Amino acid sequence: MTDASAQLKNYRQSPRKVRLVADLIRGKSAERALDILGVLPKRASESMMKLLRSAVANAKGKGFEASDLYISRIEVNGGIVFKRSMPRARGRSSMIKKKTSHITLGLSKKIAPKKAVAAQ
């Protein structure tokens, strides 16, 4: 279960391209993910960084520390598809599909590992 989340709907880039960025930051800490997104030369990284900052702000509003958060869930699904047509030979036209994405990002608090008690 996530402690804080944020959503971005109808982002104008295909889900296939956005998933490449999402796979890079899945499971990472929030701070590490922001560092990765800051240097990544993909168009989706800027919007993903903005979404991650929003989720961190939502978590801070609930009383969590930004340093304790990691990305527990990131989901990229298809959104609405804009249909356009392009003129072709002999008066025909072909369909152009402009795809969009829905991105859902969930943050959770890191659980500190319990120390094992040494057997005596």
The residue extents of the domains of the chain are 4-109
- pTM, 2 dp: 0.86
Decide the pairing of beta strands 4-11 and 69-87: unpaired
Mean pLDDT in consecutive groups of 10 residues from the start of the chain, 120 residues = 88 96 94 95 95 94 90 95 96 96 94 70
**Residues 7, 32, 19: CA angle, nearest 5 degrees:** 45
Instruction: Give every CB contact of residue 66 below 8 A, 6+ residues apart in sequence.
Output: 30, 31, 56, 59, 60
DSSP 28: S
In this predicted structure, what is the pLDDT of residue 111? 80
Q: What is the pLDDT of residue 119?
A: 66
Class of domain 4-109 as given by CATH: alpha beta
